[in-house]
Chain A
Amino acid sequence: MHPILGTILQRLLLGLITLFFVSLIIFSAIEFLPGDFTQAVLGQAATEETVAAFRRELGLDQPAYLRYFNWVGSVMTGDLGTSFSGRAASGVDRSRAVIDLIAPRLWNTLFLAGMAGIVAVPLALFLGVTAALYRNTMYDRTVNAATLTTISFPEFFVAYLLILFFASLWPVFPSLANVNVDTPFMERIYKCALPALTLTLVIVAHMMRMTRAAIINLLASPYIEMAKLKGVSRARVILRHALPNAWAPIATVIAFNLAYLVVGVVVVEVVFVYPGIGQLMVDAVTTRDIPVVQACALIFAATYIILNLIADIIGIVTNPRLLHPR
Chain B
Amino acid sequence: MTTDNPKGQKGDVLLEMKNITIDGFSDEKWHPIIKGVDLTLKRGEVMGLIGESGAGKSTLGLAAMGFARPGCKITGGSIDFDGHDLINATEDELRALWGTRIAYVAQSAAASFNPAHRLLDQTVESTLDASLQTSDAAQSDARELYASLQLPDPDNIGDRYPHQVSGGQLQRMMTAMAMSSRPDLIIFDEPTTALDVTTQVEVLVAMRDIVERFNTAAIYITHDLAVVAQMADFIKVLRYGEEVEEAETRKMLSAPTEDYTKSLWSVRALEKPENISDDTVLEVKNVDAAYAGTVKVLHDVNIKIARGTTVAVVGESGSGKSTTARVITGLLPPLTGETLFNGEPLPPALKDRSKDQLQRIQMIYQMADTAMNPRQTVAEIIGRPLEFYHGLRGRKKQDRILELLDMIELDQTFYDRLPSELSGGQKQRVCIARALAAEPEVIICDEVTSALDQIVQEGILRLLLRLQKEFNITYLFITHDIAVVQAISDEIVVMYQGGVVEQGPKSVVMSPPYPDYTQLLLSSVPEMDPDWLSNLVDGRE
Where the two chains meet, the residues of A that have a C-beta atom closer than 8 Å to any C-beta of B are 220-223, 225-233, 236, 240-241, 244-245, 318-321, 324, 326
In the complex, the answer to whether A223 meets B111 with C-beta atoms within 8 Å is yes
Partner of A226, one of B97, B100, B106: B106
CA distance A231 to B177 in the complex (A): 13
CA distance A320 to B108 in the complex (A): 19
Interface 9-mer from B9-17, B114-122, B326-334, B383-391: B114-122
A222-B106, A222-B108, A326-B164 known; A232 vs B114 contact (CB < 8 Å): no
Partner of B114, one of A220, A227, A228, A324: A227
**Chain B residues within 8 Å of A326, by CB:** 163-164
Could you give, for residues 181-224 of chain B, a 1 whenever the CB lies within 8 Å of some chain A CB and a 0 otherwise?
00000000000000000000000000000000000000000000
Asked if B146 is at the interface (CB within 8 A of a chain A CB), the reply is no
Measured between C-beta atoms, what is the minimum distance from A129 to chain B in Å? Answer: 16
CA distance A320 to B100 in the complex (A): 28
**Chain B residues within 8 Å of A236, by CB:** 129
A245-B114, A245-B116, A320-B115 known; A231 vs B126 contact (CB < 8 Å): yes
Asked if B415 is at the interface (CB within 8 A of a chain A CB), the reply is no
In the complex, the answer to whether B99 meets A230 with C-beta atoms within 8 Å is yes
In the complex, the answer to whether B116 meets A318 with C-beta atoms within 8 Å is yes
**Chain A residues within 8 Å of B116, by CB:** 241, 244-245, 318, 320
A222-B106, A222-B112, A241-B114 known; A229 vs B129 contact (CB < 8 Å): no
In the complex, the answer to whether A321 meets B104 with C-beta atoms within 8 Å is no
A244-B116, A245-B116 known; A229 vs B161 contact (CB < 8 Å): no
The closest CB in chain B to the CB of A325 belongs to B164
Partner of A230, one of B70, B98, B164: B98
Measured between C-beta atoms, what is the minimum distance from B401 to chain A in Å? Answer: 35
The closest CB in chain B to the CB of A224 belongs to B114
Pick 14 A–B contacts, CB within 8 A, sort by A.
Answer: A220-B70, A223-B113, A228-B98, A229-B67, A229-B104, A230-B129, A232-B99, A232-B129, A236-B129, A245-B115, A245-B116, A319-B115, A321-B163, A324-B164
CA distance A233 to B128 in the complex (A): 13
Asked if B35 is at the interface (CB within 8 A of a chain A CB), the reply is no
**Chain B residues within 8 Å of A233, by CB:** 95, 129
**Chain A residues within 8 Å of B70, by CB:** 220
In the complex, the answer to whether A229 meets B99 with C-beta atoms within 8 Å is yes
Interface residues of B in 136-167 (CB under 8 A from A): 160-161, 163-164
In the complex, the answer to whether B98 meets A229 with C-beta atoms within 8 Å is yes
Question: Contacts A229-B65, A231-B129, A326-B164 given; 17 further ones with Cβ under 8 A?
Answer: A222-B108, A223-B115, A225-B69, A225-B106, A226-B106, A227-B114, A228-B98, A229-B67, A230-B177, A231-B95, A232-B99, A241-B116, A244-B116, A318-B116, A320-B115, A320-B161, A321-B115
Partner of B113, one of A226, A228, A232, A319: A226
CA distance A318 to B161 in the complex (A): 13
In the complex, the answer to whether A324 meets B161 with C-beta atoms within 8 Å is yes
Asked if B96 is at the interface (CB within 8 A of a chain A CB), the reply is yes
Among B104, B106, B114, max chain A CB count under 10 A is at B114
Among A231, A233, A318, A319, max chain B CB count under 10 A is at A231
**Chain B residues within 8 Å of A220, by CB:** 70
CB < 8 Å A-B pair total? 79
Asked if B537 is at the interface (CB within 8 A of a chain A CB), the reply is no
Measured between C-beta atoms, what is the minimum distance from B507 to chain A in Å? Answer: 41
In the complex, the answer to whether A231 meets B99 with C-beta atoms within 8 Å is yes
CA distance A221 to B130 in the complex (A): 24
A229-B98, A233-B95, A236-B129 known; A244 vs B112 contact (CB < 8 Å): no
Measured between C-beta atoms, what is the minimum distance from B326 to chain A in Å? Answer: 21
Asked if B125 is at the interface (CB within 8 A of a chain A CB), the reply is yes
Measured between C-beta atoms, what is the minimum distance from B406 to chain A in Å? Answer: 39
Interface residues of B in 479-531 (CB under 8 A from A): none
CA distance A221 to B126 in the complex (A): 19
Partner of B112, one of A226, A319, A324: A226
The closest CB in chain B to the CB of A326 belongs to B164
The closest CB in chain B to the CB of A241 belongs to B114
Measured between C-beta atoms, what is the minimum distance from A219 to chain B in Å? Answer: 9
The closest CB in chain A to the CB of B106 belongs to A226
The closest CB in chain A to the CB of B110 belongs to A222
Could you give, for residues 400-443 of chain B, a 1 whenever the CB lies within 8 Å of some chain A CB and a 0 otherwise?
00000000000000000000000000000000000000000000
CA distance A240 to B117 in the complex (A): 9
Partner of B126, one of A222, A232, A320: A232
The closest CB in chain B to the CB of A221 belongs to B111
**Chain A residues within 8 Å of B161, by CB:** 320-321, 324
In the complex, the answer to whether B163 meets A231 with C-beta atoms within 8 Å is no
Measured between C-beta atoms, what is the minimum distance from A228 to chain B in Å? Answer: 8
CA distance A326 to B95 in the complex (A): 34
**Chain A residues within 8 Å of B160, by CB:** 324
In the complex, the answer to whether B112 meets A223 with C-beta atoms within 8 Å is yes
In the complex, the answer to whether A226 meets B104 with C-beta atoms within 8 Å is yes
**Chain A residues within 8 Å of B69, by CB:** 225
The closest CB in chain A to the CB of B95 belongs to A231
> Shortest 10 CB-CB distances between A and B: which pairs?
A231-B99, A231-B98, A230-B99, A244-B116, A222-B111, A229-B104, A226-B112, A320-B161, A230-B126, A223-B114
Measured between C-beta atoms, what is the minimum distance from A235 to chain B in Å? Answer: 12
**Chain B residues within 8 Å of A231, by CB:** 95-100, 126, 129-130
CA distance A221 to B115 in the complex (A): 11
Measured between C-beta atoms, what is the minimum distance from A301 to chain B in Å? Answer: 33
Measured between C-beta atoms, what is the minimum distance from B275 to chain A in Å? Answer: 43
Measured between C-beta atoms, what is the minimum distance from B18 to chain A in Å? Answer: 23
The closest CB in chain A to the CB of B116 belongs to A244
**Chain B residues within 8 Å of A324, by CB:** 160-161, 163-164
Interface residues of B in 50-94 (CB under 8 A from A): 62, 65, 67, 69-70
CA distance A312 to B112 in the complex (A): 26
The closest CB in chain B to the CB of A243 belongs to B116
**Chain B residues within 8 Å of A245, by CB:** 114-116
**Chain B residues within 8 Å of A240, by CB:** 117
**Chain B residues within 8 Å of A321, by CB:** 115, 161, 163
CA distance A326 to B111 in the complex (A): 17
A231-B130, A236-B129, A324-B164 known; A244 vs B117 contact (CB < 8 Å): yes
**Chain B residues within 8 Å of A222, by CB:** 106, 108, 111-112
CA distance A232 to B95 in the complex (A): 7
CA distance A240 to B265 in the complex (A): 43
CA distance A8 to B125 in the complex (A): 33
Among A221, A223, A318, max chain B CB count under 10 A is at A223
CA distance A320 to B115 in the complex (A): 7
The closest CB in chain A to the CB of B113 belongs to A223
Measured between C-beta atoms, what is the minimum distance from A255 to chain B in Å? Answer: 21
Partner of B163, one of A221, A241, A244, A320: A320
Measured between C-beta atoms, what is the minimum distance from B186 to chain A in Å? Answer: 11
Measured between C-beta atoms, what is the minimum distance from A2 to chain B in Å? Answer: 15
A226-B106, A324-B161, A326-B164 known; A232 vs B115 contact (CB < 8 Å): no
Among A229, A232, A324, max chain B CB count under 10 A is at A229
CA distance A318 to B99 in the complex (A): 27
**Chain A residues within 8 Å of B114, by CB:** 223, 226-227, 241, 244-245
**Chain A residues within 8 Å of B99, by CB:** 229-232
CA distance A324 to B160 in the complex (A): 9
The closest CB in chain A to the CB of B65 belongs to A229
The closest CB in chain A to the CB of B96 belongs to A231
**Chain A residues within 8 Å of B100, by CB:** 231
Could you give, for residues 2-25 of chain B, a 1 whenever the CB lies within 8 Å of some chain A CB and a 0 otherwise?
000000000000000000000000
The closest CB in chain B to the CB of A244 belongs to B116
CA distance A225 to B103 in the complex (A): 12
Among A240, A244, A245, max chain B CB count under 10 A is at A240
CA distance A247 to B269 in the complex (A): 52
